[in-house]
C-alpha cells in the first residue's frame, strides 16, 4: 500500500465510528505511512486493535505510535512486530506507557525488533509492579514480556511478546 493510499484510507477513518480493528500489517508503509495511521488513530476512539506488524515503522514510526499511546485510552491491542524498532523507539513507547496511566493496552506485541537497551526503559513500569523484579532476571530481553504480563495496569492476562 502506498503512502498516498494510506493517507486516503486514514482520512476515511476519521468519520468511521464502527471500526474497532484495523490491520495494515505487512504493507510497506514506512514511517511516513505510519504517521498517517497514527494521526487517524489519535482522533478515533473506537479502534480497539491496531495491527502494524512488518510495516517498516523503524524508530521514527515508533515515535508517532508513542504519541498515540500517550493520549489514546481505547486501544487494547497493539501489534508492532518486526518493524526495526530499536532502543530509541522502544524508549519512546515506554515513556508513553508510563505517561498515560489510563491506557487500556493489554497486548503489546513487539517481537522481532532489536530493542536492545530500550527494554531497560520499559522496566520503569516496575515502579507500579515491584514484585515482578523478584520473579524474573531483568537483564533478559524476555523480561519485558513478563513485566507487561504482571503489570497491574497492563493486565495479568496480557499476551505481550518481545522475542527477538
Provide the grid cell at 155.
493486565
What are the backbone dihedrals phi and psi of residue 80, each rounded to the nearest 5 degrees, phi first?
Answer: -125, 25
Q: What is the pLDDT of residues 38-83, one digit of tens each?
A: 999 988 889 999 999 999 999 999 999 999 999 998 999 999 999 9
Q: What is the pLDDT of residues 81-99, one digit of tens each?
A: 999 999 899 889 988 888 8
Residue pair 71/38 in contact (Cβ under 8 Å)? The answer is no
The CATH class of 3-150 is alpha beta
Q: What is the pLDDT of residues 128-155, one digit of tens each?
A: 554 444 444 444 444 555 455 545 555 4
How much is the pTM? 0.77
The domain spans of the chain are 3-150
- Other CB atoms within a 10 A radius of the CB of residue 154 amount to 22
Amino acid at each position: 500500500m502506498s503512502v498516498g493510499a494510506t493517507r486516503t484510507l486514514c482520512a476515511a477513518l476519521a468519520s468511521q465510528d464502527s471500526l474497532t480493528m484495523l490491520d495494515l500489517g505487512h504493507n510497506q508503509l514506512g514511517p511516513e505511512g505510519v504517521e498517517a495511521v497514527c494521526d487517524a488513530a489519535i482522533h478515533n476512539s473506537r479502534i480497539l486493535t491496531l495491527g502494524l506488524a512488518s510495516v517498516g515503522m523503524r524508530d521514527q514510526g515508533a515515535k508517532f505510535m508513542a504519541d498515540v499511546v500517550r493520549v489514546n485510552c481505547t486501544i487494547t491491542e497493539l501489534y508492532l512486530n518486526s518493524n526495526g524498532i530499536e532502543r530509541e523507539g522502544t524508549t519512546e513507547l515506554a515513556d508513553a506507557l508510563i505517561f498515560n496511566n489510563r491506557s487500556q493496552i493489554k497486548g503489546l506485541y513487539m517481537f522481532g525488533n532489536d530493542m536492545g537497551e530500550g527494554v531497560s526503559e520499559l522496566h520503569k513500569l516496575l515502579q507500579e509492579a515491584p514484585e515482578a523484579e523478584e520473579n524474573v532476571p531483568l537483564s533478559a530481553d524476555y523480561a519485558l514480556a513478563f513485566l507487561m504480563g504482571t503489570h497491574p495496569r497492563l493486565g495479568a492476562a496480557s499476551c505481550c511478546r518481545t522475542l527477538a
